[in-house]
Amino acid sequence: MGSTEHHGGEGVGRRDLIKRSAALGLVAAPGMGLLSACASSGGSGQDKAKTGKKTAKNPLGVNETAKMEFVLFDGGFGKEYAQDAVKVYQKDFPKATVKFSATQKIQSTLQPRFNQGNPPDLIDNSGAEQMDMGVLVGKNQLADLTPLLDAPSYDDPNKKVRDTLRPGIVEMGQFDGKPVWILYYAYTVYGVWYSQKALDSLDATYPETWDEMLKVCEKAKKKGMAGWTYAGKYPYYVPFSLYPMIGKVGGREVLDAIDNLEPNAWKHPAVKACFEAYYELYKKGYILKGTPGLDHIQSQTAWAKGKALFIPNGSWVENESANVIPADFDLAVSAPTGIDSSDKMPFGTIWASGGEPFIVPAKAANAEGGMEQLRIMLSEASSKNFTAKVKSLTAYNGGTSGISLTPGLKSGVAALQKAGSNVVNPRIQDWYVQLQKEKIGVAGLGEMMAGRLTPAEAIRKIQGFADEAAKDTSIKHYKHQ
């Protein structure tokens, strides 16, 4: 998802999508012994570590001498934050060996290990090569993280881990009800990113209606600057601003219908209005020339160099583009521009959600160790370390006091405050990764934004893809509860 990088949160899932897609949704009873017993059934695989003794300092009952293996997606957030958290694990369990590695090729590296029954204990399943979460859940390949969520938090034994998390994080990790399969570690703000300095130089303010957006883009064009660019090779970045715009214009129920693969969901008037608005950017020549051929890094670099004013992205962009964003850029993010005053939700409606999906495989040899590593990462100290190092919020609700926030992060926190309860979280990128990336993104939106499909053709095509996915019995289907 990329940037679930993922990013990515990128991706899309996800941070990533490509890097997060971003960016970029988390079975047994709380007894971990029971969990291990369930998880180890199912044929071949590795030997489970014996559970350790549960104590106040070791509430998950980690085996203090067992090896723990942690594989991280090597994306826009780098690996230092995770390595720092590993050091805490090693300090807490000095007799344990920790094997830590980072890769961009999550799927090709780890899918074979899942199939062989010897996966690592903790995985950051993010990036362009993210393993399909819906498939992993459907095949019972993930451990339920409820024991982690119900454990005392690292900082305060009187507070459960779940009570220290940002709104929506627990629900995102669920597919169809109770168990929590995924813990999204980063908290991503998606939207329209820009240089406040560049906007000021046009004597403009951020546009709240589409007529205003077109006027700002015309001003930019006269100064030799494109209105927009985006990751043309990975057009599933476009939804980072387009989906919340659809929610703003038509209401949350439109996004829910899309997530639920309902017939004709894409034919809603709000979808049509928003597609037509984005297509106008192409028709009026407000998109940076050559954008359809750019990847996420190239489009972000062109934007950072002032060749385009706006880019749809997630909050990992500040870290990922740190080496190309000028010191006086004054990075800012805003919720998407709407159509007009008839929109169902107010200006400020934004997409924010968990990114960087962490999972503990059902067949992990040391599932308790994997969960304990996550419990450490959800402490205030680890959370602050992540935020300070990578300019992004975490799932831990807090962790910003005493840190001087970077411009993008400060702007993201302000955007969340402005949104209040008007935060949307489309789930299609978590539930149907291939549909979202290849079909809706590349074959639908990518073709429309490049001018090769009209909005009506794109909608027809995308609705067809969604209908195919809805009828495909080989795909596990999910619905908003």
The two three-digit tokens of residue 6, written as one number? 């993922």
| Local confidence band at 317 (pLDDT 50, 70, 90 cut-offs) | very high
Mean pLDDT throughout 179-207?
96
More confident residue, 341 or 33: 341
Q: What pairs with residue 455 in β-bridges?
A: none
More confident residue, 271 or 18: 271
Lowest mean pLDDT among 2-11, 87-96, 231-240, 393-402: 2-11
105-115 residue pLDDT tens: 999 999 999 99
- The answer on pLDDT for 395 being more than 60 is yes
- The answer on pLDDT for 380 being more than 60 is yes
- The answer on pLDDT for 22 being more than 80 is no
Q: Parallel, antiparallel, or unpaired: how do β-strands 308-314 and 226-228 relate?
A: parallel
pLDDT of residue 44: 52
Question: Taking the domains of the chain in order of start, what are their residue ranges?
Answer: 2-188+353-405
d(CA 170, CA 396): 11
122-131 residue pLDDT tens: 999 998 789 9
Mean pLDDT throughout 6-27?
34
pLDDT of residue 40: 34
More confident residue, 468 or 402: 468
pLDDT of residue 2: 41
pLDDT exceeding 70 applies to what percent of the chain? Answer: 91
Q: Parallel, antiparallel, or unpaired: how do β-strands 331-334 and 393-394 relate?
A: unpaired
- The answer on pLDDT for 467 being more than 80 is yes
d(CA 463, CA 176): 23
Q: What pairs with residue 314 in β-bridges?
A: 190
d(CA 446, CA 444): 6
pLDDT of residue 21: 31
More confident residue, 453 or 31: 453
pLDDT of residue 404: 87
User: CA angle, 7 as apex, 281 and 186 as ends, to 5°?
Assistant: 120
| Local confidence band at 36 (pLDDT 50, 70, 90 cut-offs) | very low
First and final CA of the chain: distance in angstroms? 25
pLDDT of residue 431: 87
Mean pLDDT throughout 236-264?
97
Fold category of 2-188+353-405 in CATH: D-Maltodextrin-Binding Protein; domain 2 (3.40.190)
More confident residue, 433 or 456: 456
d(CA 449, CA 468): 23
pLDDT of residue 402: 85
> Mean pLDDT over all residues of the chain?
89
pLDDT exceeding 90 applies to what percent of the chain? Answer: 76
| Local confidence band at 151 (pLDDT 50, 70, 90 cut-offs) | very high
More confident residue, 304 or 9: 304
